[in-house]
Amino acid sequence: DPDLPRFRISEVRKHGADSENPWVIYEDKVYDITEWIPAHPGGQVILRAAGGSIDPYWNIFSIHKNQYVYDILAQYLIGYIDQADLVDGRPAQDEIEDPFADDPERDPLLITKTAKPRNAETPGEALSSQFLTPNELFYVRNHMWVPKIDEPASDKYLLTVELVDGTVKQYSLQDLKSKFPSHTITAVLQCSGNRRKHMTQGSGRSTNGLQWTAGAISNATWEGVLLSDVLADAGLEVSEALSGEGETKHVHFAGLEAYAASIPIKKAVDPQGDVLLAYSMNGKPLPRDHGYPLRSIVPGHVAARSVKWLNQITLSDEESTSQWQRKDYKCFGPNETKVDWDAAPAIQELPVQSAITEVKTGGWTKTAKGSSQGLGDQPAQQVTFGGYAYSGGGRSIIRVDVSTDNGKSWAQAYLLPDCVAKDGSPSPCQGHGAWSWRRWRFDTAVPLTSFREAQKAGSSEQVGCGDGDGDGAPTAAAAQSENRCTTVMVKATDDTYNTQPESHAATWNLRGNLATAWHRVQVCVDC
């Protein structure tokens, strides 16, 4: 409609989130979205774009690239951007806001997968050198920008709790801290996509999602209040909920930037479940990247349920309708490439997992005469390796098996006593389940023949490594020649005797979720 008015961008800016009539720009058009806000499925989040261009937000929420969404927007058209503010028919680039402009600074040691939104994994060394991952090295998985909240969180930040009957109660951060006893647990968060890259490589099939290696997992101590205490205060009949009767079947968590997910009520009110509304991480206020000022922590479950920047809890008879609940975090058979999302349950408790995060080669030694490998008196390479093992649902790790000869023989790794009680029994560290990972180490001397055999693979070629002085260890000169490699691998078993699958091909799924096959790493020597 050419008769509609033209607006300068400076005029649109006055119609930001706090104004009576929020406007947005899409391409060269101006819309008054006042009436759309209450009806918008993402709720108030559309206000994030108010006073500016909606394009960069819609690039994040790809769901909007749909004709029906443009049709809705068309109803709110009020005019066009003034010619003076257009370059090639679009608002000048520097007038378009960067949704990520307020994101926090991050530690350069994190391994960045995508910068906007921020997705970064914990470096291998930091995964196993400490039991608790330092806050600044804890992996980051953001679907959108990091909401900006005044620090310290004022009473402007409110958590809203809504029961099935529509009753609403609100809590400031101060209310939560003063009304309810604090509770501390140590728990792993693991993304359902952890090790997705291993699945892609191991199966030789592509997967849809961030190609994480073994660092989309971290462990921290969380302090907060029990979700069940808050739900009881808000009016939920906890005993009824526990019995499985009653209308409340799911607890929805929504974050300030529109991310949302849910957990079954059973987990939420289980006295052994330890579900927290956490405000502290490793003794410090939650960092912005990890949900400041409040997040849910659902120990033993996939991290997608531990919702950051939590501002709304809704009790319901059904699961959250968000794509992160109904799609994305589900698995299917390796043959299923066109899937019925509704047919598969959402991932909640995680299966058993382990990974090798450090491998160090040391000096040369000899295998003992009559050693179990029957190789007595062979040159052998000292190798130390370590990593983590973890299982969901509070199940503890009972054993970690390692192989240094591509799975021909196995031995047991040493489990670090991070969570072991004084009487020697494996006890959960702070909490009612084994919510933390177990770190493990394995020191061994790998006979040279293991390296040779792995390399030989059927050929009769004999590879010489010795320098003739009788100890069999390769010299610097011999090391000039060729790399000889062997594959070391790890698998863990939890207290239900569930263990990891041998191959990624067996559990391949189009989203690359729950990549838990034996983790294999090549170790090479020069000889």
Name residue 306's amino acid. Answer: S
Within 10 angstroms of residue 360's Cβ, the number of other Cβ atoms is 11
Q: Max CA-CA distance within the chain? A: 95
Pick what 439 binds: ligand MTE, Mo ion, none; C-beta below 5 to 8 Å, kind-dependent: none
Q: Does 144 bind Mo ion (CB under 5 A)?
A: no
The answer to whether 329 is a known catalytic residue is yes
What kind and span of H or E run contains 325?
helix 323-326
Provide the token pair at 467. 């320098």
Which one of residues 128, 133, 135, 142 is an interface residue with ligand MTE (CB under 6 A)?
142
Q: In the window 249-268, what residues touch ligand MTE (CB under 6 A)?
A: 255, 257, 259
Q: Considering beta carbons, is residue 191 or 445 the nearer one to Mo ion?
A: 191
Catalytic residue among 15, 48, 64, 252: 64
15 belongs to the catalytic site: no
Catalytic annotation present for 183: no
Q: How many residues bind ligand MTE (CB under 6 A)?
A: 18
Query: 6 with 83: CB under 8 angstroms?
Result: yes
Cα–Cα dist 419/435, whole Å: 10
Our separate counts of H helices and E strands in the chain read: 13, 27
Q: Given the rule CB under 5 A, which of 99-107, 146-154, 297-305, 317-325 is the region that contacts Mo ion?
A: 297-305
Residue positions counted in the chain: 527
DSSP string covering 176-226, please? HHHHS-EEEEEEEEE-TTTTHHHHHHHHTS--SS----TTSEEEEEEEEEE
Part of the chain binding ligand MTE (CB under 6 A), chosen from 108-116, 136-144, 396-404, 464-472: 136-144
Q: With binding defined as CB under 5 A, does residue 49 bind Mo ion?
A: no
Site string for ligand MTE, 78-107 (x = CB under 6 A): ------------------------------
Q: Which of 26, 57, 292, 329 is catalytic?
A: 329
Q: How far is CA 343 from the centre of its chain?
A: 24
Binding mask 182-201 for ligand MTE (x = CB under 6 A): -------x-x----------
Residue 524 is among the residues annotated as catalytic for this protein: no
Contact flag: residue 304 with ligand MTE (CB under 6 A) = yes
Size of residue set near Mo ion by CB under 5 A: 3
- Compute the least distance from the CB of residue 347 to Mo ion, in Å: 10
Least Å distance, CB 104 to ligand MTE, is: 12
3-state secondary structure of 494: strand
The Cα 303–Cα 209 span in angstroms is 16
Instruction: Specify which residues 439 forms β-bridges with.
Output: 388
Interface segment toward ligand MTE; rule CB under 6 A; list 162-170, 306-314, 360-368, 375-383:
306-314
CA distance 45 to 413: 49
Token digits of residue 329: 């975090």
The site partner of 267 among ligand MTE, Mo ion, none (C-beta below 5 to 8 Å per kind) is none
Q: Does 293 bind ligand MTE (CB under 6 A)?
A: no
Q: Catalytic one among 141, 143, 196, 438?
A: 141
CB of 33 to ligand MTE, least distance (A): 23
Task: Let me know the angle formed at the C-alpha of 121 by 497 and 506, rounded to the nearest 5 degrees.
Answer: 40
- Partner from Mo ion, ligand MTE, none contacting 309, C-beta within 5 to 8 A by type: ligand MTE
Smallest separation (angstroms) from Mo ion to the CB of 316: 22
Q: What are the E-state strand segments in 318-474? A: 353-366, 379-390, 397-403, 411-412, 414-415, 438-447
Print the binding letters for residues 112-131 with ligand MTE: x by CB under 6 A, - otherwise: --------------------
Burial 101-137 (b: 16+ CB within 10 A, else e): eebeebbeebbebeebbbbbbbbbebbbeebbbebeb
Q: Is 191 one of the annotated active-site residues of the chain?
A: yes
Q: How many CA within 13 A on the CB side of residue 415?
A: 24
In the complex, what is the shortest distance from the CB of residue 194 to ligand MTE, in angstroms, rounded to a whole number?
A: 8
Tell me which of 191, 331, 419, 429 is the catalytic residue. 191
Q: How far apart are CA 474 and CA 471, in angstroms?
A: 9
Shortest Cβ 122–ligand MTE spacing (Å): 9
- Beta strand pairing status for 250-255 and 310-316? antiparallel
User: Which x/- pattern, by CB under 5 A, does the window 162-201 give for Mo ion?
Assistant: -----------------------------x----------
User: For residues 212 and 194, is the Cβ–Cβ distance under 8 A?
Assistant: yes
Q: Given candidates 15, 141, 195, 250, which one binds Mo ion under the rule CB under 5 A?
A: 141
Binding residues (CB under 6 A) for ligand MTE: these are 138-143, 189, 191, 255, 257, 259, 290, 303-304, 306-309
Active site residues: 40, 64, 141, 191, 329
- Footprint of Mo ion (CB under 5 A): 141, 191, 304
